[in-house]
Structure 1
C-alpha cells in the first residue's frame, strides 16, 4: 500500500509540474505576441504576399533615415543595417516609435565591410530589394583619406552585391552622386555627360556604379542608379533631421555651416570665391530637398524592371548661387550671419546643375520642394529643437 501511495503522489506531482510549466510557456508566448516591441523573426525571414521587404543600408544616416521613414509610411517592410559610424541611433529610435507594429521595422548593427556578417543578414532575412545608401560622403575628407573611401564605398558595395547574388535578391536602388561627373564642360548635366570624377569620393562611387552595371549585365537584376546633387532640408513634420558628428563639421554641407554660424558655434560663414563667371560671382549649385530625393528613390523602386538599368539625375534643374543660398539661410534662421568672402578654393567649379528631364519623363518625378528658404526653415526648425542632435532635444 505504501508503495502504491508513493507512486500516486509522485505521478500527481509530475502532472502538477507539467501543467505549471505549460501555463508558464503560454504566458511567455502571450506576452511576446501582445508586446508592442515584439517582432516575430518569421515576419522578416519569410516573403509575404503583398509586402515588399526593403534592406536600407545606412538607414540611420541623414538621407537613409528619411528614406526609411518614407518606405514605412508607404507600408514597406524595412530592415536598416548601419554601423553607426556616421548614422545616429536616435534616428532609428524615432522610426521605431513611429512604427512599433510587428514586422514593420528592424535595426541590425553591422559593418558592410564584414562579408561574413552581411552574408548572415541576407541568410536570415527575406529581402525583396536593397536600397544602398551606406557611404562616407565628404569630398574634402576623401582627398585626405582616399583608402577609407575606396574601402567604404567601392569594396563594401561589392560585398552587398555578392550577398544579393548569393541570396537571390534581384532589385537594387543605388544612391550615387553628381560627383561622378567631375568638372563637366557643358551645363546642365545630363545622364550622358562623361563621368570624369576629380576626387576619391566621386571616383569610388563611379567604380561602384561600374561594378553594379557589369554585374547586372550577367543577371536578370533590376537596377536603378540615382545621381543626386546638393541635399538640403529635413522632414517637414520635424521628426528627422541632419545631425553630423561635430568633428566632421569642417567637411560638411553649406547648410550645416550656415546653421552653425546662426547658432554661434562658428563665428561666421566663409564663402570661397567671388570672381566666378556667374551672375553674382559665387559658385552655382543645384540644391535638392531630402524629401524630394527620397521620393525619387521610392519611385525608382516602384519602376525597377528585371534586366534593366535605369540611371537618373535627381535635381531641380535650376542652379542657385552660394550668395543666394546664404541670403535664404539668413531669412530662414532670422539671424544676420556674418559672411567673410575669400579667394577661390582649389578644385571648385563655377556652375553645376542637372537636367532632370529623363527622370521626369520615365518615373514621373519632379522636385516639389524647390523653395530654398522653406527647405532651410524646415531644417532650422529641427536644428533648434535638437541642439545636441538626437542626443537631447
Structure 2
C-alpha cells in the first residue's frame, strides 16, 4: 500500500532513504539569484514528470504538486533518485481544488514560475462525467491563478489542448482557428484559457498557452513512461491500448469509428512525442515576458489515421495485434492536425521525434520493462 504524507506536507529529496523528511534548511522558501524555481502541477503524471525531468536536467529548482489521482509516486521517486542533491526537487501531496492547501504551498515556497499540467484529460470520460472536468480543469486553474496573484508569481506556462478547437472546417489548425469545442474536456480547457487571458489583461503576468495535439512516446533513456490507472484504460490514449493489446493485458484493440470522412474512414490525429512537447515548454518558459501572452499549437504538422497508427504500433511491438472496429466514441472529431509555423518562428521550436514507429518503439521498451507500471517503485 502506498504511504503518503499529509496534504501540504513537503517530501523533499533531502532524505537518504527516500522517505518524507524535510530539508533542514528549506532553500525552496527563498528566491536565489541564478536559480529559477518552477512549480510543476501534476508533475507525477505522464507529461508533467517528463517536464520535471527536463527542468531538473537544466538546473531549474522544481516543486511537484500532485494528488496522485492520475499520477504515480513511482515517477517522483525516479526523479528523486536521479536528482538527490538538496534544493533540486521536492514533492508536495495536495489537491489543487483545496484553496487553503494551495495558498499554504505558495506561502511556504518562493516560486518564480508555474507549469500547470494537472488535469483529467480523457475526451470519452469527459462526456460521461462532465462536472468532474469543469471542477478539475476550470475551477482548479482559477485556484492556481488566485494563488499566483496573491503571492506575486508572474509567469504561467499553461497546458492546454487542440480539443479547444473542436472540429474546424479547415485544416491545418492555426492559432487563429476559431475555438468551438465539442466535448466537456475541450470546453473546460477553453474556459480555463479564457480566465487566464482575462486576468492577464490587467496584470503584468507572463503567459504562455500551449495547445497540445496527441501525445505519445516516453523518455528515450527509459527512466519514465506512461502508466495510467487500469480502470481508466478504456478512456486512455490509443498508444496505451495498443501496448496493452500487445502485452495481452486486453484481448485486442478497439478502434472506435470507421465511417469518418477521411481517406480510410478512421480519425486523423497529429501525434507529438512527449520529448518534443516538454522541449516546447522549456522554450516557452525561457521566452515568457511580463505583460505578454503567447499562444502556440504544439504538433508535428502532419496527420496520421488511426489505422496508420495501429500498423505502426504492430511494427513497433512486433505483435500482430487483434483489432475490433466499433461505432464512434461520443465527442470525437474526424480530423485534427496542426500548423506549427507560429511556434517555429517565435520560439524556434520544431518537432524532432517525428518517426511514429520509432516513438512507439521507445515507449514500448519502457512498457515491457515496467509491466506493472511504477508499481515496483511505489
Does TM, normalized by the shorter one, top 0.5? yes
Flag the 1:71–1:40 CA change in 2: closer, same or farther, 3 A: farther
Partner of 1:54, secondary structure, is: strand
CA-CA distance at 1:392 after TM superposition: 2.4
Aligned mates of 1:219, 1:36 — CA distance in 2 = 43
Question: Is the CA contact 1:36–1:101 (under 8 Å) kept in the aligned structure 2?
Answer: no
CA-CA distance at 1:276 after TM superposition: 3.0
Aligned mates of 2:294, 2:225 — CA distance in 1 = 29
RMSD over equivalenced CA pairs, Å: 1.6
Q: Which structure exhibits the higher relative contact order, with contacts defined as CA atoms closer than 8 Å and separated by 6 or more residues?
A: 2
Deviations 1:225-270 (A, max 9, x none): 0001100000000000000000000000000110111011111112
Of the three residues 304, 323, 342, the one matched with 1:339 is: 323
Aligned mates of 2:353, 2:156 — CA distance in 1 = 26
CA-CA distance at 1:279 after TM superposition: 2.6
Q: Which runs of 5+ in 1 are unaligned?
A: 1-31
Partner of 1:282, secondary structure, is: coil
Deviations 1:258-300 (A, max 9, x none): 0111011111112233333323232211000000000001100
Question: Is the CA contact 1:182–1:197 (under 8 Å) kept in the aligned structure 2?
Answer: yes
Flag the 1:345–1:111 CA change in 2: closer, same or farther, 3 A: closer
Partner of 1:206, secondary structure, is: helix
Q: 1:6 aligns to what?
A: none
**Deviating more after overlay: 88-97 vs 137-146:** 137-146
Q: 2:73 aligns to what?
A: 89
Aligned mates of 1:169, 1:343 — CA distance in 2 = 47
Q: 2:47 aligns to what?
A: 63
Flag the 1:57–1:290 CA change in 2: closer, same or farther, 3 A: same
Pairs within 5 Å for 1:235-250: 235-250=219-234
Aligned mates of 1:132, 1:63 — CA distance in 2 = 11
Which of the pair is proportionally richer in helix?
Answer: 1
Q: Which runs of 5+ in 2 are unaligned?
A: 1-12
Aligned mates of 2:16, 2:306 — CA distance in 1 = 51
Flag the 1:105–1:311 CA change in 2: closer, same or farther, 3 A: same
Is 1:370 aligned to residue 362 of structure 2?
Answer: no
Q: 2:145 aligns to what?
A: 161
Pairs within 5 Å for 1:86-165: 86-165=70-149
Aligned mates of 1:89, 1:122 — CA distance in 2 = 21
Q: 2:265 aligns to what?
A: 281
Aligned mates of 1:99, 1:33 — CA distance in 2 = 10
With normalisation by structure 1, the TM-score equals: 0.89
Q: 1:268 aligns to what?
A: 252
Aligned mates of 1:252, 1:316 — CA distance in 2 = 21
Flag the 1:41–1:203 CA change in 2: closer, same or farther, 3 A: farther
With normalisation by structure 2, the TM-score equals: 0.93
Partner of 1:375, secondary structure, is: helix
Q: Which has the larger radius of gyration?
A: 1
Aligned mates of 2:155, 2:24 — CA distance in 1 = 25
